[in-house]
Amino acid sequence: MDNINNMESFEQRNEEDQQWVWRNGLCCSVKKRICVLNKKLHSLNKKIETFPSSQSLLKDVLDLNKELTAYFSALTDNINIRDLFDFLTICFYEYEHFFKEHKNVIVCDRDVMSELVPLARDIVYNHVRTILEFISNNTIDTHQYRNH
């Protein structure tokens, strides 16, 4: 009877948690992608720090970039893929909201448009989104997996 209760308790915890399972152990690929993204973030941060414009909106981008790099530096060998996915999703939408909210100011500054926006778009739309898509395509929600 105890084994049945333990099994039910275990299944209930898994359903509540909805832990994700890696397909084919693709953690190394995510780490490589994060490494590339991290380098690009550092590069953009250096450009922003040396940029002649003193717009406060650049400080906001810098803060978000530093939040990402701090998160990446705290990752260990055992990446919690669900946490990473959630964090990157939030960051993606924060970047997207930032670009929409400050579009008029950004578009009016030729230097920002020519030097910073291409780097920022590359980071957000080529790297962050690609990592999110990679995780989505290579994970299985264990709750859904058990029901099939």
Q: What share of the chain has pLDDT > 70, as a percent?
A: 74
**Which comes out higher in pLDDT, residue 16 or 75?**
75
pTM, entire model = 0.75
Chain centroid, CA 12 distance in Å: 28
146: confidence class by pLDDT, cuts 50, 70, 90: very low
pLDDT of 9: 56
Are 30 and 79 within 8 A, CB to CB? Answer: yes
Are 49 and 62 within 8 A, CB to CB? Answer: yes
Q: What is the C-alpha end-to-end distance of the chain, expressed in Å? A: 27
pLDDT of 30: 86
**Which comes out higher in pLDDT, residue 134 or 13?**
134
Are 127 and 40 within 8 A, CB to CB? Answer: yes
Mean pLDDT: which of 58-62, 77-81, 111-115, 125-129 is highest? 125-129
